[in-house]
Amino acid sequence: MTAATWNSRRIVKYIVIYYCLLFCVGLLYRSAITGTAFYQEITLNDRFESTSLDVLHRYDSVRRRDLLSGLKISSSTYNDDTVNEEYGGLNNSTRKENAVLLMLVRNWELPDALKSMRALEDRFNREYHYDWVFLNDVPFDERFIEATTMMASGRTKYGLIPTEDWNKPDWIDEELFESRLKEMERQKVIYGGSRSYRNMCRFNSGFFFRQKILEEYDYYFRVEPDVEYFCDFPYDPFEIMRSQKKKYGFVMTLVEYKATIPTLWNTVLDYIKQDRHRDIDKENSLYEFITDWDDVKTPKSLVQPTDNYNMCHFWSNFEIGDLNFFRSDEYLRFFDYLDRTGGFYYERWGDAPVHSIAAALLLKQDEVIHFDEISYMHAPYFTLPQADYFQLKQRCICPYKEKNRIDFRDISCLNRWWKDGTGKKFMKETYSMGGV
């Protein structure tokens, strides 16, 4: 054997040994990793299980599962009882208050109406079975009735709004109205050129509570199509309204577009003047909440103080109210005075500022409630309980970006509510001691 052959054999041998070693080290490394992973998996599983067991019954009392009486009909289920006509409905009801879930809606909004219903049923009503009332300015079609009935856990009723409660009154000057519509459209005021939107706002301001179908109820919860409730309700808000003698409840408060209500406040001031303290008691009402200009994190630049209304209002697409407040002579007098000016048509007064100003003038401070613990989304804004503890306890799922959470945005009036309403005691104390 030549020296060269011997050398090359040796090289081959070393290479083989090198790769064998590499393979063995690889094997050892892999089993070490999987061993650790396996070990980690076991301990993690244990930890998950014990955490899960730990919380399993922690919130039983607040989740009120004990009140669940059977499956609601809108659930996907194999339970034969759900097709039994005796099943569900009022016989099985745990509802306690004389209250109704109320939706003004158009037939073509059915998918969005179902979306809102599904969320409210799942998060609240499936445990209470409150009635649903649907209102429309044209008759509901069969599909709408069928699908909403199946989605509801309580009774469903459908009301056709009389034309005199919906349409523009005869005394509105047609020419003036036309020119205002065009002008507001040109100025790109939101819904500025819409006739039906004006009918809707006037109806929601002065006529919804007069509908025959609502006569039997004391409280209503307004629901719009395409809204969301993404945490469990921690209580029955109707029960809170009755037991705490509340007349108006809200979740969001923000500033209104000035362009939609240029003369509303002056009209309100005229009303206050002629009222001569009959209905309005500025001291004990929420007058301060809507006229206060202190800088409580709502930059003044957002709203020009051309008059002393600070534009704060409760966002009425969510509202829980006492129907008897709206039926009262005080409210009717207020609404009629505004209505006679034609502002619902010549401008585009929304039901939100109208309800809010009425509540602020005619109710006592503690008759309005901020439902702090209820989550809600109406595009583009949402709100949800602040504390992480409540978000967990109420099983919140919030898919939205924090920037659209209204409460701490510049346009929110929540800070003002905390100061001037029945909000946070510390805000009142801080301001009464001379500011922050």
Ligand X SMILES: Nc1nc2c(ncn2[C@@H]2O[C@H](COP(=O)(O)OP(=O)(O)OP(=O)(O)O)[C@@H](O)[C@H]2O)c(=O)[nH]1
Picked from Mg ion, ligand X, none, the partner binding residue 196 (CB below 5 to 8 A depending on kind) is ligand X
Q: What is the per-residue binding string for ligand X in 144-183, x denoting contact by CB under 6 A? A: ----------------------------------------
By CB under 5 A, which span of 127-135, 208-216, 217-225, 402-410 interacts with Mg ion? 217-225
Q: Residues 302-321 vs Mg ion: string with x where CB under 5 A?
A: ---------------x----
Selected from 122, 165, 224, 270, the binder of Mg ion by CB under 5 A is 224
From candidates 165, 218, 224, 270, binder to ligand X by CB under 6 A: 224
Query: Is there a contact between 208 and 362 (Cβ–Cβ < 8 Å)?
Result: no
Specify the residue, 161 or 414, whose C-beta has the smaller distance to ligand X.
161
AA letter at 131 = D
Task: Provide the CB-side half-sphere exposure for 421 (13 A, CA).
Answer: 26
Binding mask 125-144 vs ligand X (x if CB under 6 A, - otherwise)? -----------xx-------
> What span, in angstroms and rounded, lies between the C-alpha atoms of 65 and 241?
22
| Residues binding Mg ion: number (CB under 5 A) | 2
3-state SS, residue 349: coil
104 contact choice in ligand X, Mg ion, none (CB below 5 to 8 Å, kind-dependent): ligand X
Query: What single-letter amino acid sits at 191?
Result: Y
- Positive or negative, the CA dihedral 37, 42, 47, 49 is positive
**Of 104, 303, 311, 368, which one interacts with ligand X (CB under 6 A)?**
104
Site string for ligand X, 282-321 (x = CB under 6 A): -----------------------------------x----
Q: Which residues of 188-206 are buried (b: 16+ CB within 10 A; e: fewer)?
A: ebebbbbeeebbbbbbbbb
Q: Between 375 and 415, name the residue whose CB sits nearer to Mg ion.
A: 375
Asked whether 189 and 211 are in contact (CB, 8 A), the reply is no
* Shortest reach from residue 117's CB to ligand X, in Å: 12
Segment interacting with ligand X (CB under 6 A) among 10-18, 99-107, 150-158, 306-314: 99-107
Residue 269: what residue type?
A: L
Active site residue 239: no
Burial class (CB in 10 A: 0-12, 13-18, 19+), 320: buried
Smallest gap from Cβ 426 to ligand X, in A, equals: 33
Residue nearest to Mg ion (CB): 224
Quote the CA–CA distance of 228 and 15 in Å, as a whole number.
68
Per DSSP, the residues of 38-63 read HHHHHHHHHHHHHHHHHHHTTTHHHH
**Integer Cα distance of 136 and 143 in angstroms:** 14
Looking up tokens 């395409």 gives 226
3-state secondary structure of 255: strand
Between CA 192 and CA 255 the distance in angstroms is 18
Please select the residue that binds ligand X; options are 105, 214, 261, 361, rule is CB under 6 A: 105
Residue 377 Cβ, how far from ligand X at the closest point, in Å?
A: 11
112 part of the interface to Mg ion, by CB under 5 A? no
Binding site for Mg ion (CB under 5 A): 224, 317
As annotated, the active-site residues are 319
Q: Which residues bind ligand X (CB under 6 A)?
A: 104-106, 109, 136-137, 196, 200, 224-225, 317
